[in-house]
Amino acid sequence: MSEIDRHVDAYLNFLQVEKGLAAQTLEAYSRDLAGYLKFLSSQQIESIEDADTTMILKYLIHLRDQGLIARSRARHLVTLRGLYRFLVHEKILARDPSQTVDLPKTGLKLPDTLTIEDVQRLLTAPDPTRPQGQRDAAMLEMIYAAGLRVSELIGLKQLDVNLEAGYVRVWGKGSKERIVPFGQKAREKLTLFIKEGRNKLLKTEVSGYLFVARAGKPMTRQGFWKLLKRYGVKAGLTRNITPHALRHSFATHLLEGGADLRAVQIMLGHADISTTQIYTHVARKHLQAMHAKYHPRG
């Protein structure tokens, strides 16, 4: 039995013993979750932490392509929300990736993206005169500049970054490698951190990881979540900012700027372009606004 299977069994047992669900209701939950597990297996997802918001959206798209109507897809989403709430309550997961997923009648809704102005305020929040600030500024810039998952960001090795050419080598899901370019701002902040802040944080320790915390240990997911939340408050952003919101913003801003969908797919590391297509409705709204504003017959 896999790790994910064990978590699902624990949740179904909770529903039966603690919640006392009727046998018919429990069977419906079990059937829906079995379909989700089969889908995760087809995507080579072996850890529940990797079954993130994007994967949930991809599953809902899969259900739609299988012919399920909106009401049926909504039922599946309710089932998944129950599972993820249970996993957070049991401290198996730090956050609920289904919380930001909605399924209105008109289609799928992405988790909130930041405006370009909000991103600018967030990225300039760290103090560049302190080693921790230099590290944090480089991390925030990289996760947005390259559209990285938080696990990819904290897993970066110093050798993965080519400052001269302006690209980073990323190891994504299933140990798949991809090359993602980054811009001048990211290069500047990375250079400052590598030349100054990183050695001060390491002191006498040695580490192959790019972003280090205390005693030369790599930054953790929880550590990055905490610093992101802190800088969100410092930047005056009222909503809760997540690492994935920066990844969503990366994709949305690229498409709004005219980037090719398949290029964005490659940079995000999506195996299936249907996953990337969840961003296109955001870009479409931007294009419609531009057309209405500038076209003589808009």
Residues tagged active-site: 149, 173, 244, 247, 270, 279
- Rounded to 5 degrees, φ, ψ at 217 are -75, 150
Longest dimension (CA), the chain: 66
Q: Nearest-5° angle of CA 74, CA 100, CA 29?
A: 35
Beta bridge partners of residue 167, listed in sequence order: 162, 181
Q: Nearest-5° angle of CA 232, CA 236, CA 239?
A: 60
Q: What is the C-alpha separation between 188 and 142, in angstroms, rounded?
A: 11
Helices (H), the chain: 3-17, 23-42, 53-65, 70-89, 116-123, 131-145, 150-154, 184-192, 198-202, 221-234, 243-256, 261-268, 273-276, 280-294
- What the block records as the tokens of 124 is 């300039």
